[in-house]
Structure 1
């Protein structure tokens, strides 16, 4: 998921001219989006396109079933029996002395996790928690798309409700948002602004969890963005807000470029940026000595430098998975789909070092610092019982098959109002001045005091407040 960071590393050693050297004067006067709206001009957008991802040919005899059907997650006794049998047969290997999480998931700690999963974890209980929000499925482009739809329960007369689409990433799921959903839909009960209330839709990306996996090659973030746009239209939402991290940021960003007239605002806690070219190189070289000359703040300098250590080397340490999944995902997928212990190690390792890089120095990977084992294993179970790990990893293959800098979205910017929450323990830091190269109408940019990659799961209150703050600013524009 970290291709833009690799681009940053490459740009430090090579020269590439940026796509655009001048921004419209309207950017500095209040945002290009508002300027073009006021002057009746159309913002550049990328084509919405069309697709069919179900098995076989697209049927021409009748239209697609557009009904929205209630869905309930069920705990199957057969699934649990099969899981326990496989866990009982786990083959462990001896751990290295004092290896902690430097070699990946500590095999000693894995025994603890597997023991808990086998003997204490209650899937039936977790299924009840999963089902506390309404689940649905609907057919879009030949795929059964799963989502949860959460509405506020208590509204004052005439109170405005903002539709919000929240999209997860890998190796997460819709369950990442369970901690933040009550804060967004019932904010007054949790100390947040009671006047900014959301109606939230959280879909599962096709190929993830309970959304059907595409049967054909080529299902990319473009297709996911289009499908989620169609999903919002099925509820009559012609205008809505977007929020995403990881793949969710890529998908929501593309949707903002496909249908800018429908997106009231885009909030991100992770960014995929184009190659910064010569400007990025100059910024990196001058930044430590005269940051104000290149638009960097003191906090930017603190998070960026030493650049090789905090960004390039860390990316190299953390992206082995990316190269595998971007080339031959089905190979590793075969192993992970067969072994629950392997699947847990593969996924939970990311919830360790992506939450905080310093957790690699802990014997238990710091997993209990921000999460409970019940929460972590519930996310793993969503992949396990649906057999979706291989199809989820194919998303990387589709991304790198096309190559980021050759896709149509790189030819234009994102002009919808954008809010960015920069969490300090994210894989790498992208300053506002770099983000402006792609996101031309940044309304808010927040240096979050703590938190890492899984923001909604780790710090729901911080993220919830930042989303509210961003929407409040947009509504006043």
Structure 2
């Protein structure tokens, strides 16, 4: 071997060793962060707080606020005309928005007592946990018979609410030939969402919310339970499963995602030669990655402002029903199917009823929770939360991943398995979007019970 060849060999060997060591450093599993399970997040000093552990029935009842809303929506509606030949590509089309406001004012609100009754159909409660009033649905099975009853923590995201689950809950709580199990559902409003009080102190992120909801499950009498979630519910649910494996029977998500550096490297490698890592029918969920990245970038302007200045946009939307409608309902258009941007009405009622969409909107409006809901973005992406590096803390809890074709993003099994070391269920559905519990509850239910069968046997 010549001198230069030897030098090249040494350089390549050293380079390979450095790369390998760097890879080990960035892929090395990390221990879970030490979190105070009794941390106080309410207003004022913890020393003056005495927790009321009682669970109190809750009923949705509004009259004055709804009358005020009727008056606001009766004012002349001043909107800019959309650009010619533009539908939802620039955001919520103002012509479509006029139709929504008209229906909201002249149809939906005239039936508010009916909608209020609908929203009150499931038992609801509040309780104090760590200084915060937490609201939750608690729905027990109807005539379980010989079916085994399993507790389920069901978690929503933004800009959703517990309303997303109203069509799913009957599937979960009614015995079915599809499953040997039936579920006792505990579905909380996320902290700062709906009727759950927002934190009064900084640094309340997804991990801290996971602590609150694990404590909620203990409060209602369940030391072991299943977890299901999408959007923020996916991240919070993942944190519950990671931080409290002793309490977690299994974790199922319809937005399985990990954002570690190693996962991103694996995504790039998959792009180079997909057949090595994906079956043919799976490729369109992940490939071409660059196109999917730019689509996500186009749809994530809200994310940046909420992760940096949530109170500014919150102030603009608070007590502004028309603006709030445009801001929230636009997500139910493009996140359900990106192609709906090209439709004059945004395809809003292709998969949802207008009543269901307005039910969800009313929860944000009536509770004045838009600002506190958006603060979660700022907290999760603050430095102290990033320092936890939860994407590198392995989750040993049995995990199930259900991917729906039109959701915002997807991770491959290869990407997920560094984080979810016990991935026992992985499926691809050729239809469906981000709000799948509201859009196709029966399909989500069937995927979930398939996962449960694997976990419980």
Structure 1 length-normalised TM: 0.87
CA contact (8 A) 2:260 2:391 kept: no
Which secondary structure state, in structure 1, belongs to the residue aligned with residue 214 of structure 2? helix
Q: Deviations over 1:17-51 (max 9, x none)?
A: 3656589xxxxxxxxxxxxxxxxxxx964434232
Q: CA RMSD in A?
A: 2.0
Deviation at 1:75, TM superposition (A): 2.5
Which secondary structure state, in structure 2, belongs to the residue aligned with residue 466 of structure 1? helix
Once residues 69 and 453 of structure 1 are traced to their aligned partners in structure 2, the CA distance between those partners, rounded to angstroms, is: 32
Deviation at 1:411, TM superposition (A): 3.8
Deviation at 1:220, TM superposition (A): 1.1
Deviation at 1:297, TM superposition (A): 2.1
1:236–1:364 Cα change, 3 Å: same
1:164-243 residue pairs with structure 2 within 5 A? 164-188=152-176, 192-243=177-228
Deviation at 1:286, TM superposition (A): 5.2
> Which position in structure 2 is the counterpart of 1:337?
318
Answering whether residue 275 of structure 2 is matched by residue 291 of structure 1, we say yes
One of 283, 302, 309 as aligned partner of 1:301: 283
One of 256, 267, 281 as aligned partner of 2:252: 267
Once residues 111 and 19 of structure 1 are traced to their aligned partners in structure 2, the CA distance between those partners, rounded to angstroms, is: 55
Once residues 18 and 111 of structure 1 are traced to their aligned partners in structure 2, the CA distance between those partners, rounded to angstroms, is: 56
Counting matched residue pairs gives: 433
Once residues 372 and 422 of structure 1 are traced to their aligned partners in structure 2, the CA distance between those partners, rounded to angstroms, is: 23
1:135–1:283 Cα change, 3 Å: closer
- Which protein has the larger Cα radius of gyration, Structure 1 or Structure 2? 2
CA contact (8 A) 2:154 2:186 kept: yes
CA contact (8 A) 1:249 1:269 kept: yes
Deviation at 1:284, TM superposition (A): 2.9
One of 37, 51, 63 as aligned partner of 1:64: 51
Once residues 194 and 254 of structure 1 are traced to their aligned partners in structure 2, the CA distance between those partners, rounded to angstroms, is: 27
1:460-475 residue pairs with structure 2 within 5 A? 460-475=441-456
Deviation at 1:275, TM superposition (A): 2.5
Once residues 212 and 290 of structure 1 are traced to their aligned partners in structure 2, the CA distance between those partners, rounded to angstroms, is: 46
Q: Deviations over 1:113-154 (max 9, x none)?
A: 000001000222111011110000000011110000000111
1:18–1:404 Cα change, 3 Å: farther
Which blocks of at least 5 consecutive residues in structure 1 are unaligned? 1-14, 24-42
Answering whether residue 23 of structure 2 is matched by residue 17 of structure 1, we say yes
CA contact (8 A) 2:87 2:341 kept: yes
Deviating more after overlay: 296-305 vs 432-441: 296-305
Once residues 115 and 230 of structure 1 are traced to their aligned partners in structure 2, the CA distance between those partners, rounded to angstroms, is: 43
Once residues 153 and 371 of structure 2 are traced to their aligned partners in structure 1, the CA distance between those partners, rounded to angstroms, is: 25
Answering whether residue 131 of structure 2 is matched by residue 142 of structure 1, we say yes
CA contact (8 A) 1:47 1:258 kept: no
Once residues 98 and 18 of structure 1 are traced to their aligned partners in structure 2, the CA distance between those partners, rounded to angstroms, is: 52
1:283–1:95 Cα change, 3 Å: closer
1:329–1:194 Cα change, 3 Å: same
> Which position in structure 1 is the counterpart of 2:62?
75
Which secondary structure state, in structure 1, belongs to the residue aligned with residue 433 of structure 2? coil
CA contact (8 A) 2:168 2:437 kept: yes
> Which position in structure 1 is the counterpart of 2:87?
100
Runs of 4+ in structure 1 over 4 Å off: 18-23
> Which position in structure 1 is the counterpart of 2:307?
326
Deviation at 1:436, TM superposition (A): 1.0
> Which position in structure 1 is the counterpart of 2:10?
none
CA contact (8 A) 2:307 2:381 kept: yes
Which secondary structure state, in structure 1, belongs to the residue aligned with residue 47 of structure 2? coil
1:330–1:151 Cα change, 3 Å: same
Which blocks of at least 5 consecutive residues in structure 2 are unaligned? 1-19
CA contact (8 A) 2:206 2:380 kept: yes
Deviation at 1:248, TM superposition (A): 0.4
Deviation at 1:194, TM superposition (A): 4.7
